[in-house]
Structure 1
Amino acid sequence: MGSCSGDPRLCWATWLLRCASLLLCACSTVANSSGAHVFLNRTQGGCVLFHVAREAGAELKEITWGFGPDSAYTVILRVHSGADSPTWVSLRDKYEHRVHVPNMTSLRIDNLNPGDSGQYRARISLTGGKEFNMNFHLTVYAPVPLPQIRVTSSSITPGWCNVTLECRAQGAMEDLKVTWESKGLPEELEQRGTPGPAPNLWVLDLSLPLSQPNPRLTCVLSNLLDQKTATTDLGAICVPADSHAVTGPSLLVHVLRAVIAVLFFLGAGLCLWKTRDRKQKMEPVRGAGLHEEHRDHDGGIHWAELSR
């Protein structure tokens, strides 16, 4: 962490180490004025690199890194010139496995969480008794959740579709901003978005002309570092009245076809029943004729015998 001491190989190794630190944590903040305040925004799970530039002609003696506001400032560790490792003072259980000191003037924190948000201070001590502070204000944002659009009410009036939409998401929403984006809607369209009763609820009241084909509406949730969207097709919600006139005759045709089929089967069944009944009536008549014929025949025989 000290100087190269005139050895080119040592200088080259130190330069590579600094470049590797910047690549591992793709965020670098440089400040070189006394009492400067730097504001940083990072995403949960990412990293941050605090860096203090050397003043020309000044030799660093020690840098003390701390956390918290002025009323509750706590020293985390100290970095001494020429030392191989920093000296921990407090909060070691919170930062030990996540805090790294790539060089004398830098401090990196990995695997950030919302609890890491706050003010970090570097107190720089130079040879000759000169000191100054650098303040870094860090805000760690949670990832933006995926929103969902839900239709709470809809109605059709002559020429218009009135619909109320809600954009919902799970998780902490106090740091998120919601916006509505439309595609295929006229600019003069009356629409109004207001925060709902809960921090994760936004409501949009919309009046849509039925003559507008296939409009789409998108809810965008965002913070300073990320955004997520959800899109819905209003054409499936606002069905014009003409579409009902189209479906009416088709339904009547299906009903008529069903009635005709039922009548056909009833007629066929009635014909079969009548045919069977007719056959049953004809069989006794034929049997009776045969009986009469047999009886006449017998009668003729007896008459012949009697005549003899």
Structure 2
Amino acid sequence: MSVNPHQWRRVRTSVPVVLGRLLDLVDDAPPDRPATAHWTVADTMAHLCGVAAMGLALVRGGPPDLPVPDLLELRRRTTVDTISVMNAEVLRHFTERRLPVLADRLRADVEEVLRAVDEAGPEHEVSWLGGARLPVTGLLAHLLNELNLHAWDIARAVGRRWVVDPADAALFVDLFMVGMTRRGYGRLLDRDGPAHPGTISVNFRHRFGPEVTMALADGRVTVAPTESRPDVRLSFDPAVFTLMLFGRVSRPRAVLARKLWVGGRRPWLLPVFLRTMRLPS
């Protein structure tokens, strides 16, 4: 469960670098330009401010500095499928939409998050959405992914190109997804419907870290010992893979671009696995 020192240095260094690129990107962006189907550029920046404020509160052990009623209870009962509800509540009550003000707040809160994480140390654990347990390195990897993901949205909206460093994207897989699965994701992945019978093992492989096998059994996902013949072998470019997980790149496009390779003895079970091990898109 120990955090790799290289990963710790990388995530700690990459967050301020990507933040700086994002702030340069929005410096002259039109605030009302649609960035996603539902959010403008200003909405997207307000969302990132909310992410940073909640991350800071988790590390500091206090309530988030956001004017949202019952936010702690909302955070506790949130699942992957209801994250959009929590995001909407935050944006409804946090009404600031002036880009310079949002940029200053985001910069300040991210700097505070980094200071708090340095004080806490890489093995410090927090209780995340839905009661999931997460090391602060995973919290930083999630913040890094949010910055990259929404910068990608804003860049498309203003006709610019945003490049996600695959080594940074790998941190989201290794420190957030795997780290949270190891420590327990609470009710974050709860879903209705019967559990798939039997076990599905999926081997994840990329060039920036060790391969990991996850297994789905009785509706729960765990980190499992590496198998010689897993049901699914998944090799991927982490940058494209994370964009795919969040619905920015389609699975066929990732496969055709040779950024995602699926094999194993039962590769057709991957969609079944991903119905549980899923992310909001």
Q: TM-score range by the shorter chain?
A: under 0.3
The higher relative CO (CA closer than 8 Å, separation ≥ 6) is in 2
Q: Specify the structure having the higher radius of gyration (Cα).
A: 1
Tell me the TM-score normalised to structure 1 length. Answer: 0.20
Higher strand share: 1
Higher helix share: 2
